[in-house]
Amino acid sequence: MNIDDKNYAHTLLPRTADEFKKMLKAVAGNTMDVNISDIMVSGHRCVFVASEGMISTQALSDLVFRPLMEFDMGRTASAEEIYTFLTRQSLMTIDRQELTTFGEVFMRLFSGFAIIFIDGLNKAISLGIQGYDKRSIENPSSDTNIMGGQDGFIEALRTNVSLVRRRIKSPLLKFELMQVGKVTKTDIAISYISDKVDKKVVDEIKKRLMDIELDTVFSSGYLKPFLEDKHKSIFSSISTTDRPDSMCIKLNEGKVGILIDGTPFATILPSEFIEEFRTVDDYSTRSFYTVYIRWIKYLSFLLAVALPGLYVSIASFHPGMLSHRLLLNLVASQESTPYSLTTEAVIITIMYEIMREAGIRLPKAVGGAVSIVGALIIGDAAVTSSLISAPLLIIIGLTATASFVIPGLNQQTSVLRLVYIAAGGLFGLYGISILTIIIIANTCVLTSMTVPYTAPLSPLTTNRLTNILGRPSFLNLQKTKRRVEDLNGVKK
């Protein structure tokens, strides 16, 4: 039978070991990481295939080779007898599967399974003895907290699955495995709690994922455009987290999580705007403090987005709003600088973004140096040499600090800040107003799987307003069933 890299996926396995090896080599070519060996098991010929670096050599020797070598029937065993031994009589590994096509063989092979083909049978057995190197579980990098769990997702899908499973021991928590990416065949696990989730949402997500025809999938960013609804918005109705506890909380609300092999972030949908202001710590601290911190975060978001724009617009177009003393101070500081306030604000904002980006991309040790150069040398020198006014530097510094409070919205705040400066600098508060209504509408149009992004504020879901003002008490949480589908504005 002719086999090549186009038709291998559905080609059935042959009966003989020679033909199996030939066909395997025809597809895999001379790739160095596929090891093919002939072994004799109780006098019967088998073919052992594994991908180098993907399996555990310890597990291979203890769980596979030793039992196979010790399996001796005192005569040449038949293919069926070896097959029965491998599938029913041995305890080599729990994760074993019968394979009938080359597509299945390659999928399992490159997922770290060992493949055993038995001469005379047109099927093979895959044995899960994965042992590739992976990062150990560490603190989450982007969503740090004080009181909650300190373990974060890593790049290995199965480890991430276990992190979630360890926290939700219910059989109702499901993980459905599928592959996306025509070339990469990336494993993804769709997870949900079956009695909390809307089954139609899960089906829709699966349908959208199956329709993806990308060659490669390396992170959640590859999937997001296919999972989002059609409207283009600056915000995303799909969130990501690298915290297993955070994912569990969201699964319990009836949301769906998608774990992608190779990325330490879980994709969660549907997602609401208000979620960006919630942290696991909210549920570990006293409620009055949670309310206080929640409102600090709202204020931080507004400051991060609009403060420089408001400052520029008020100082340039509506100075009457400011008290005389403040106005005099501003005028005095502005007098010595060569540029207009808007130009200054744009320059310093872009400078800040350059330094922030440099700080992120550079190695940690050097990243700190960039901050020192930016904050102390350039900032101080710019004010001393009267290139930039001191109040504006304070405003931008405050804005930058505020933006760190809501890391999940960092992309949006960075861009909106600059747009607000432009709108405020060119058109005053009128420009700010027009921009604001455009952004509000652009955000409000966003819906993910029937749930509006701006819920529960708009459409208003009164019994979920505590989620905006602070957090619901645990007494309240145990009494009410909170499901994300209740946020779509339809009363049931």
In the complex, the residues that contact another protein under the rule CB under 8 A are 231, 314, 317-318, 320-323, 427-434, 436-438, 440-442, 444-445, 447, 452, 454, 457-460, 489-490
SS3 130: strand
Contact assessment for residue 135 and residue 144, using Cβ atoms and an 8 Å cutoff:
no
- Burial class for 170, CB neighbours closer than 10 Å (0-12, 13-18, 19+): exposed
Q: Which is nearer to another protein, 226 or 427 (CB)?
A: 427
Cβ(325)–Cβ(434) under 8 Å?
no
Cα separation of 226 and 178, whole Å?
Answer: 16
**Cβ burial, residue 327 (10 Å; 0-12/13-18/19+):** middle
Min. distance of Cβ 318 from another protein in angstroms?
5
Strand order of the β-sheet with 266-269 is: 173-180, 186-193, 256-260, 266-269, 239-241
CB contact set of 401 (below 8 Å; sequence gap of 6+): none
Closest by CA position to 176, among listed 244, 257, 266: 257
Find the DSSP H helices in 124-190.
Answer: 157-165
User: In this structure, which amino acid lies at residue 262?
Assistant: G
3-state secondary structure of 169: coil
Beta strand residue intervals within 101-242, DSSP E = 113-118, 124-128, 173-180, 186-193, 239-241
The CA distance from 211 to 166, in Å, is: 31
